[in-house]
Chain A
């Protein structure tokens, strides 16, 4: 019965699945612009600096190529004797400083916005473990772990003989990028994350959200997001955390706020029921035994 109610809760999500997929693509060359205001600002900064570097590169390498072509001994070039030029040296010291200021200005602006976690409407606590993530919706009983899906897990074994290309969801390859239970989040809502770890340092990273934040034992780090588009967004642990570092993905399922509220209410009810059942001495069988199906892992 509990399992069925969980399935209903999941069914609530099914409607939104596939709205915006953010898997990495084969031959992908560039960073994703992501699905938040902040991730787009990060992307724009990235492109701004990239183009500045390209322009400087074209000038410097162009000058080098011209010199190599023009001033070669085999073409009869005779070496000049000069070895300094004060004006040129001042120019190529001052102009880079100005370019740096032009880069630092928008970077500072974005960074200040990213650091402001005030006025969040929802707080999610993220805890890194070797090698899975725990999510707690602060203020509710919803609290579960999220780990690599079974399909990927079977396939990733040394010489498993299974084809990673065969691990798919809705036609997209999800090898090592899928979990048993995604983190469900509402769109259009400022969500604050408090991030920590239980054993070693991990790092929580979903590229579509535009940032990663280290999860460090003994520390609580903060970050925030406001997702614009419903969809499934995938990421991975980004800090080396031991042998299965490559096998603790993150999946965020972003749904419209009303749908999220329904899901949270339903899941919270299941969690509360589970806790009540656990508190009742008659029920000896621990409902947490089946972590995959159990909504709550009350401790």
Chain B
């Protein structure tokens, strides 16, 4: 198929300086790399905070930090991981891969692309600087529920401004992705022929545009409540603290799907490649993602079953939430069917993808349990919830990001990563992450609330196991950083196709992908296009 790519357009005929390339550059591949490196740095910073939390929780009694600092750690860990690690990683993967997958020369809005990235380091410098301010950083939880979130020092103003910046960055990134996908596809790349990863990002980008302004509104009202004497959320002034929760979760629930839909896309690329069999039910996969995205807008109050909603409200949100299990189930069944009667090999990307399917499904099960309102009255705000969302975010979103990184790394660097170390990374991560989060289900069921710095003796055994898992998992990620770093520096030469069963336009360009690709649109051959029989 489209082998008339444009390798001779490589960057060697003009050599930009370091600053020109990395600070002012507008190339989608370079910006993708910046996003991914930024995300890895944030992942390690957020992880270090998690280790402070787990170190304090290693045994009962307070040994290391006081409760104020503990609360700052839980709050900032969440904000850094969500807005700094997971979301930028997906934007980075989208930046790198979407133009390559749809046959576009670059993103539709390259200068905005540069801007949307360069906002982020400043936003996070501001967020992290609050930890060193008088009164400390935010300590009311990442959900910023008033009145508690307004009790701290003035650092909340910096947190809110940082959140505004992250939102602006996300919205610009989303606009760019939508504009690229809708306008820049090569002729013949119809919407229903696009790779699932591109589909998942298109839908995610609409979610981002819909909900980031809602978050901006919510935190702006917090800001005026704190500094300008308004009473949006202050009961004493006629306001309503629960209103904040409704607005926050109207953003927050689509937000959790923003962090998982691109993961679905990545897994839907990887499993067919290593099963050497077309993706099962391509169109069902697209419709399932769209249904999940739609449902994400009408389930927000399942985060609030204990605030005292009327019976009718509780029932509505329970039923709507349970419905999500149907399209999610379709996705899992389709992945398993893709493997069925395939010809599988188990390179590192496939291992992470399979780990994703199993452990994300476990997180899905606990999600279904949490949807049942009477049972949620027991689960809510316990470690059961902590276990649930770490299964879907760590072994879900982050495992998918790692799977995608191993999958496309040879295309980015031109070298194969060290497969033995990759497998070590997978097995160490999988064993320790389960040691870390599985016992937290038991802690929650036995009655341990979340966000507490100290606990009764009865909870000590599982907490100790969990902390051991946390340190093991954290250290394993240094191995990941080393593997990526050494792959960027050299190794066995990668072929253009890299993986035997790989399909899609990104594998038709050389490895490493030259600075400029598809300056003339490729010809599209349906049989070689992405994965699956696109007529179903």
Binding site for B on A (CB under 8 A): 23-32, 38, 41-42, 45-46, 49-50, 53, 56-57, 60-61, 63-64, 67-68, 71-74, 77-85, 88-89, 92-93, 96-97, 100, 103-104, 107-108, 110-112, 114-115, 155-160, 162-165, 173-177, 199-201, 203, 205, 207, 210-214, 216-219, 221-222, 235-247
Question: Do residues B339 and A68 form an inter-chain contact, with CB atoms below 8 A?
Answer: yes
Residues of B contacting A163 with CB < 8 Å? Answer: 61
Residues of B contacting A173 with CB < 8 Å? Answer: 456-458
Report the separation of the CA atoms of residues A177 and B60 in the bound assembly, to the nearest whole angstrom: 13
Question: Do residues A63 and B340 form an inter-chain contact, with CB atoms below 8 A?
Answer: yes
Chain A residue nearest in CB terms to B65: A158
Tell whether B373 is near chain A: CB-to-CB under 8 Å: yes
Across the interface, B61 reaches (CB within 8 A) one of A31, A63, A155, A205, namely A155
Chain A residue nearest in CB terms to B59: A164
Chain A at the B interface: SS class: mixed
Q: A73-B276, A107-B372, A222-B308 are in contact. Are A67 and B322 (CB under 8 A)?
A: no
Residues of B contacting A174 with CB < 8 Å? Answer: 456
Residues of A contacting B165 with CB < 8 Å? Answer: none
Chain A residue nearest in CB terms to B377: A211
Question: Do residues A157 and B62 form an inter-chain contact, with CB atoms below 8 A?
Answer: yes
Residues of A contacting B281 with CB < 8 Å? Answer: 83-84, 89
Residues of B contacting A211 with CB < 8 Å? Answer: 306, 374, 377-378
Question: Do residues A243 and B445 form an inter-chain contact, with CB atoms below 8 A?
Answer: no
Question: Do residues B336 and A236 form an inter-chain contact, with CB atoms below 8 A?
Answer: no
Residues of A contacting B67 with CB < 8 Å? Answer: 243-247
Among the interface residues A85, A88, A176, which one has the most CB atoms of the partner chain B within 10 A? A176
Among the interface residues B139, B333, B378, which one has the most CB atoms of the partner chain A within 10 A? B378
Q: Quote the shortest CB–CB distance from B114 to chain A (angstroms).
A: 38
Report the separation of the CA atoms of residues A164 and B278 in the bound assembly, to the nearest whole angstrom: 58
Known contacts A77-B343, A79-B277, A217-B241, then 15 further A-B pairs from the complex at CB < 8 Å, ordered by chain A residue: A28-B442, A28-B458, A30-B446, A45-B372, A57-B365, A67-B342, A78-B343, A79-B276, A83-B280, A83-B533, A175-B457, A201-B145, A205-B381, A207-B378, A243-B68
Map CB proximity to A onto B326-342 as digits: 1 under 8 Å, 0 otherwise.
10011011001111111
Q: Quote the shortest CB–CB distance from B364 to chain A (angstroms).
A: 9
Residues of A contacting B122 with CB < 8 Å? Answer: none
User: Closest 7 CB pairs between A and B?
Assistant: A218-B235, A246-B452, A221-B308, A28-B446, A211-B377, A83-B278, A53-B365
Question: Do residues B344 and A97 form an inter-chain contact, with CB atoms below 8 A?
Answer: no
Q: Quote the shortest CB–CB distance from A95 to chain B (angstroms).
A: 9
Question: Do residues B240 and A218 form an inter-chain contact, with CB atoms below 8 A?
Answer: yes
Residues of A contacting B62 with CB < 8 Å? Answer: 156-160
Question: Do residues B329 and A92 form an inter-chain contact, with CB atoms below 8 A?
Answer: yes
Q: A64-B357, A73-B343, A160-B61 are in contact. Are A84 and B449 (CB under 8 A)?
A: no
Q: A158-B62, A160-B62, A218-B235 are in contact. Are A246 and B454 (CB under 8 A)?
A: yes
Chain B residue nearest in CB terms to A221: B308
Across the interface, A84 reaches (CB within 8 A) one of B145, B280, B456, namely B280
Question: Do residues B343 and A79 form an inter-chain contact, with CB atoms below 8 A?
Answer: yes
Question: Do residues B336 and A72 form an inter-chain contact, with CB atoms below 8 A?
Answer: no
Question: Do residues A26 and B460 form an inter-chain contact, with CB atoms below 8 A?
Answer: yes
Question: Do residues A50 and B457 form an inter-chain contact, with CB atoms below 8 A?
Answer: no
Residues of B contacting A111 with CB < 8 Å? Answer: 311, 314-315, 318, 373-374
- Show 18 A/B contacts (Cβ-Cβ < 8 Å), sorted by A: A30-B442, A67-B341, A67-B342, A77-B342, A83-B279, A83-B280, A89-B281, A96-B329, A104-B322, A159-B63, A160-B61, A201-B145, A201-B147, A203-B381, A211-B377, A238-B381, A240-B451, A246-B454
Chain A residue nearest in CB terms to B451: A240
Residues of A contacting B365 with CB < 8 Å? Answer: 53, 56-57
Report the separation of the CA atoms of residues A223 and B513 in the bound assembly, to the nearest whole angstrom: 62
Tell whether B284 is near chain A: CB-to-CB under 8 Å: yes
Question: Do residues A88 and B455 form an inter-chain contact, with CB atoms below 8 A?
Answer: no
Residues of A contacting B375 with CB < 8 Å? Answer: 42, 45-46, 49, 107
Residues of A contacting B342 with CB < 8 Å? Answer: 67, 71, 77, 79-80
Q: Quote the shortest CB–CB distance from A216 to chain B (angstroms).
A: 6
Q: Quote the shortest CB–CB distance from B225 to chain A (angstroms).
A: 13
Tell whether B476 is near chain A: CB-to-CB under 8 Å: no
Among the interface residues A97, A104, A235, which one has the most CB atoms of the partner chain B within 10 A? A104
Question: Do residues A83 and B456 form an inter-chain contact, with CB atoms below 8 A?
Answer: no
Tell whether B302 is near chain A: CB-to-CB under 8 Å: no
Question: Do residues B457 and A42 form an inter-chain contact, with CB atoms below 8 A?
Answer: no
Map CB proximity to A onto B196-211 as digits: 1 under 8 Å, 0 otherwise.
0000000000000000
